[in-house]
Amino acid sequence: MPYEVTAERIRIMAAAARVQLADESAARIAHAVTPTVARFAKENLSIPFETEPSTFTVVQRQDIGK
């Protein structure tokens, strides 16, 4: 897999979130999330600069009343 989440990344992020992890958990989490992170990264998104989360609501409601 070209993109791999490392246990080291997990340890740092858990510490930043102030959540204690068991020693073996970082490797487990890295293994669990790598397919999702890799698949999303592979999409190599080029989202229009002005797009924000609420753009979804605009798209969702464009047919209302038609």
Q: Cβ closer to other proteins: 2 or 61? A: 61
* Cβ-contact 21, 40 below 8 angstroms: no
Site membership for other proteins, residue 3 (CB under 8 A):
no
The H helix count followed by the E strand count for the chain is 3, 0
Site membership for other proteins, residue 23 (CB under 8 A):
no
Q: Which two tokens stand for residue 19?
A: 């959540």
Site membership for other proteins, residue 43 (CB under 8 A):
yes
Site membership for other proteins, residue 1 (CB under 8 A):
no
Instruction: By CB under 8 A, name the binding residues for other proteins.
Output: 5, 9-10, 13-14, 17-21, 25, 28-33, 35-37, 39-40, 42-43, 45, 47-48, 51-61, 63-65
